[in-house]
A and B are shown apart, each in its own frame.
Chain A
Amino acid sequence: MIVLENVGKTYRSLFGSPVRAVSEVSLEVRAGEVVGIAGPNGAGKSTLIAMLLGLLPQDEGRVTIDGQAPRAFVQREGIAYLPELISLPLQWRTDEMLKRMAALAGLAPAERALAVERVIEAVGIAEHRGKRLKSLSKGNLQRAGLAQSLLADRRVVVFDEPTHGLDPVWTARFRDIVAGLRRPDRAMVVASHNLDELERLCDRVAIIDRGRIQRIVTVREAAGSAEPRRWRIRVMAAADAVAARFPGATVTGNDIECLADVPSLNRGLAEAIATGALVVSVGAIESSLEEAFRSAVTS
């Protein structure tokens, strides 16, 4: 749905030397996917997002959303977007800001008030609705920003540092909101410094540094993937008997590590359980995003 092909961007100024912000970035975000963008400060994340929104043209390559130039797509159907900085006129009241954004979102008059109430409820800012944005705390301002991004039903969602300033309770709540936004026809991009957050939210994470994608890490396989994956199975006893069902499995105490696709895993576990094995837990051994990030950024 979102396609970046060999995208490059150089900032030029009259007196300074050119700054290469993004180089040869290729990335596809398919409908139904949540893709993270991770990178250190100045890596090129914000430039990439500005190009995705069509606010900044690329110098090289091609950016398309649903086959169209980003600006054309945004002007046709809009994007749910939460910028890194909640840069709205601070004299606006919270509910006024939401009403303005609901109007710009193109919602029908009857839907606007309902949408505003819905998002105020969703992000828990009812007590702050009459306050000016300048009097909101950082966390509440972030929630107000999140609220405006949820006003309309969009096929493309872009969150830039979405949990910046949120307390742990609202960080967890935000994850629930993102989980609720997952939909087969919706593509989502989440840029964040918080690798744990990206690991929990995303299917894949593109690690960007010095303007280039250094690595794309698959942190969550799509449900029902036919590809064999590595699993860790913890049992109460008889680990060897369970391991025998999976060729090449290794046993460490009560833990078994094996390679299997989902049907083979279920079949093997069913046979083991039928012979009396007590399975405590089963989990995929996924790549550590942090490890991949460190290696990509320092290499």
Chain B
Amino acid sequence: MTLRPLLAYAPWQARDAALRAVAPLFIVLAVAGLPLYGFMSSQEISDLSSDPRATELALQVYDSAVSLAMLIGAFLLMGNAVAFDRDKLHVRFLFAHPVAPEAFYLQRFVVAVVISTTLFVAVPVGFSWLAVPVSVLGTLKAYLIVQLLIGSLAVLWGSITARDGLALIITYLTTSILQQLDRADQLSPWLSTLSKGLPPIAAMERVADALMAGTGLVTNELILVVGYGLGMLVAALVIVKRAPLVR
């Protein structure tokens, strides 16, 4: 195997990723842009940053919209990647060529993260220009962290089961609830241990919030989230390499 097929296919991966990465932009537009525009029109405010209450409201709306967009974006970006190709038998075409499946999906992941993060620049830049100044770099770092953890989890489930979308949602919700309860000391010892072993969703949310706010970042949590995300990605690629590509 040479790198030539993968390099040649990279623009197609980028195009596919760009099409999927548009969804988070629309989410921000729908969840933040339209309500704020309505608020500004009804209050006859032309500059949100001129009014402290309006600024605070705008930033709250921005945080909510970006958090939702990052999450749904990550679900869409890598959800269904491996499982879909296997289920629809695309693998028979893709991997009759001199391409290693694990390298193909690693490339898809990297290209998807790079393309979607690049496109997501439009969100903080646009918001800063049209509404209230926000940290462009902070938002992008938060976006990257969410893509890494949720995207890796999506690839991992996709490498294991055809019902990866459902598995991803259940994992996200269950883990999120368990870890919030654990933080509030409301879990039995064994459930507490279990929740600590699950993907660090709660830590990811705290890290993302801290990166967007530019304060309160806990380095240990950042390392945990990045390490766990990379670990899941490697595990997924090992499974892709070793498990049958057709069932």
Which B residues are CB-close (under 8 A) to A112? Answer: 8
In the complex, which of the residues A53, A75, A80, A88 contacts B90, with contact meaning CB atoms closer than 8 Å? Answer: A88
Decide if A103 touches B89 in the complex (CB within 8 Å).
Answer: no
Which A residues are CB-close (under 8 A) to B5? Answer: 103-106
Decide if A50 touches B246 in the complex (CB within 8 Å).
Answer: yes
Interchain CA distance A99-B5 in the complex, whole Å: 12
Interchain CA distance A156-B158 in the complex, whole Å: 30
In the complex, which of the residues B8, B94, B97, B244 contacts A56, with contact meaning CB atoms closer than 8 Å? Answer: B244
Decide if A74 touches B98 in the complex (CB within 8 Å).
Answer: yes
Decide if A89 touches B90 in the complex (CB within 8 Å).
Answer: yes
The verdict on A77 contacting B98 (CB below 8 Å), with A53-B92, A55-B92, A85-B89 known, is: yes
In the complex, which of the residues B4, B93, B100, B245 contacts A75, with contact meaning CB atoms closer than 8 Å? Answer: B100
In the complex, which of the residues B2, B4, B93, B100 contacts A83, with contact meaning CB atoms closer than 8 Å? Answer: B93
Those of A53-98 within 8 Å (CB) of chain B? 53, 55-57, 74-81, 83, 85, 87-89
Decide if A81 touches B92 in the complex (CB within 8 Å).
Answer: yes
A100 on interface, CB distance cutoff 8 Å:
yes
The verdict on A53 contacting B99 (CB below 8 Å), with A75-B1, A83-B89, A106-B5 known, is: no
In the complex, which of the residues A55, A76, A100 contacts B95, with contact meaning CB atoms closer than 8 Å? Answer: A55
Those of B72-114 within 8 Å (CB) of chain A? 88-100
Chain B, Cβ-Cβ closest to A73: B98
A148 on interface, CB distance cutoff 8 Å:
yes
B9 on interface, CB distance cutoff 8 Å:
yes
Task: Tell me the minimal C-beta distance from A8 to chain B in angstroms.
Answer: 15
B37 on interface, CB distance cutoff 8 Å:
no
Those of B1-15 within 8 Å (CB) of chain A? 1-2, 4-5, 8-9, 12
Which A residues are CB-close (under 8 A) to B96? Answer: 53, 74, 78-81, 149, 158
Chain B, Cβ-Cβ closest to A96: B12
Task: Tell me the minimal C-beta distance from A191 to chain B in angstroms.
Answer: 13
Which B residues are CB-close (under 8 A) to A81? Answer: 92-93, 96
Give the number of chain B interface residues (Cβ < 8 Å): 23
Those of B98-149 within 8 Å (CB) of chain A? 98-100
Which B residues are CB-close (under 8 A) to A77? Answer: 98
Decide if B92 touches A104 in the complex (CB within 8 Å).
Answer: no
A109 on interface, CB distance cutoff 8 Å:
yes
A262 on interface, CB distance cutoff 8 Å:
no
A27 on interface, CB distance cutoff 8 Å:
no
Interchain CA distance A20-B83 in the complex, whole Å: 25
Which A residues are CB-close (under 8 A) to B92? Answer: 53, 55, 81, 83, 87
Chain A, Cβ-Cβ closest to B91: A55
A125 on interface, CB distance cutoff 8 Å:
no
A237 on interface, CB distance cutoff 8 Å:
no
Decide if B244 touches A104 in the complex (CB within 8 Å).
Answer: no
Which B residues are CB-close (under 8 A) to A104? Answer: 5, 8-9, 94, 97, 99
Measured as residues with beta carbon below 8 angstroms from the partner, the interface class of chain A is 20 to 34
The verdict on A106 contacting B91 (CB below 8 Å), with A56-B245, A78-B98 known, is: no
Decide if A55 touches B90 in the complex (CB within 8 Å).
Answer: no
Which A residues are CB-close (under 8 A) to B98? Answer: 74-78, 105-106
The residue in B91, B100, B246 that gathers the most chain A C-beta atoms within 10 A of its C-beta is B246
Which A residues are CB-close (under 8 A) to B97? Answer: 74, 78, 101, 104-106, 152
Which A residues are CB-close (under 8 A) to B9? Answer: 100, 103-104
Interchain CA distance A219-B102 in the complex, whole Å: 41
Task: Tell me the minimal C-beta distance from A69 to chain B in angstroms.
Answer: 13
Chain B, Cβ-Cβ closest to A79: B96
Decide if B94 touches A55 in the complex (CB within 8 Å).
Answer: no
Chain B, Cβ-Cβ closest to A50: B246
Interchain CA distance A148-B97 in the complex, whole Å: 11
Chain A, Cβ-Cβ closest to B243: A57
Decide if B1 touches A76 in the complex (CB within 8 Å).
Answer: yes
Chain B, Cβ-Cβ closest to A78: B98
In the complex, which of the residues A88, A106, A149, A158 contacts B4, with contact meaning CB atoms closer than 8 Å? Answer: A106
Q: Which residues of B contact A (CB under 8 A)?
A: 1-2, 4-5, 8-9, 12, 88-100, 244-246
14 A-B Cβ contacts within 8 A?
A55-B244, A56-B244, A74-B95, A74-B96, A74-B97, A77-B98, A79-B96, A81-B92, A83-B89, A89-B88, A104-B5, A106-B98, A108-B4, A158-B96
- New A-B pairs, 14, CB < 8 Å, besides A76-B98, A104-B99: A53-B92, A56-B245, A75-B99, A78-B96, A80-B96, A83-B89, A83-B92, A83-B93, A87-B92, A101-B97, A103-B8, A104-B8, A104-B97, A107-B8
Closest A-B pairs by Cβ, 9 of them: A87-B89, A103-B8, A81-B96, A104-B97, A106-B5, A75-B1, A78-B98, A55-B245, A83-B92
